[in-house]
Amino acid sequence: MKKLTLEFETNERGFTLIETMISLAIIAVIGLASFTLVKRAVAARKTHTTVTTKLTQFSKAFSIISQDITNTKSVAYGNFSGTQDSLVLIGKTKENPADTQLQKISYRVEHSGQQDKQNLRRITRDFTGKSNSLVLLTGFEVIKFSYLQQYSDGNRWDSEWDEDGYLPLAVKLNLEDKSGTRQKELLFPVRVQRQIKL
């Protein structure tokens, strides 16, 4: 008797080691590229959020300081005075426009908890002693005021102001960030030039 053997022809083959290694390498490259894209997107979003927050803070501070200097009232008591680290003036505030009382408005540069960083704080006080404090700018390396004074030979910027009877022509706020790489100068014209004697 003849032995019956079944032989099947198969064309099926498994992946070779090289094919498997190539496919794993392609998957790894795609995975690494995806990870890099996600990481960059997260970093870009963080940078965008930081810049947007800083611009919002900067815009708000500019608006408040501009409004306060625009509403400066020059009176014989509590005159306008300033140094590089502070500015004191009398005026009406934006938060209380209906209030007819004048308020003493102070800006003070103070050191923050971060190393070599400064903040700009605004303090308002009415004449009853009630006060309100608000930090306007944070994280700058240099914040300083200067005052434009008119002299017989022309105008020049001074680091202090305590002139009885007159106000400066303008106030300049210098801001430096990251070792002077980003420097800003904000100019605020003073509209009232003589003090009112009450």
Contact present, 80 and 88 (Cβ < 8 Å): yes
**Residue 41: inside a domain:** no
Report d(CA 78, CA 89) in Å as an integer: 7
Per the document, the length of the chain is 198
Contact present, 136 and 62 (Cβ < 8 Å): no
**Residue 15: inside a domain:** no
pLDDT score for 37: 96
**Residue 166: inside a domain:** yes
Report d(CA 119, CA 185) in Å as an integer: 16
Q: What is the pLDDT of residues 147-158, one digit of tens each?
A: 998 888 889 899
Q: What is the pTM assigned to this prediction?
A: 0.70
How many structural domains compose the chain? 1
Would the pLDDT of 9 be above 70? no
pLDDT score for 197: 47
How would you write the chain as a 3-class SS string?
CCCCCCCCCCCCCCCCHHHHHHHHHHHHHHHHHHHHHHHHHHHHHHHHHHHHHHHHHHHHHHHHHHHHHHCECCECCCCCEECCCEEEEEECCCCCCCCCCCEEEEEEEEECCCCCCEEEEEEEECCCCCEEEEEEEEEECEEEEEEEEEECCEEEEECCECCCCECCCEEEEEEEECCCCEEEEEEEECCCCECECC
Q: Per-residue pLDDT averaged across 133-146, rounded? A: 85
Domain that holds residue 105: 53-189
**Residue 105: inside a domain:** yes
Would the pLDDT of 67 be above 70? yes
Report d(CA 61, CA 54) in Å as an integer: 10
Report d(CA 125, CA 61) in Å as an integer: 18
Least confident window among 7-11, 24-28, 168-172 = 7-11
**Residue 19: inside a domain:** no
**Residue 177: inside a domain:** yes
**In sequence order, what are the beta bridge partners of 137?**
120
**Residue 198: inside a domain:** no
**Residue 118: inside a domain:** yes
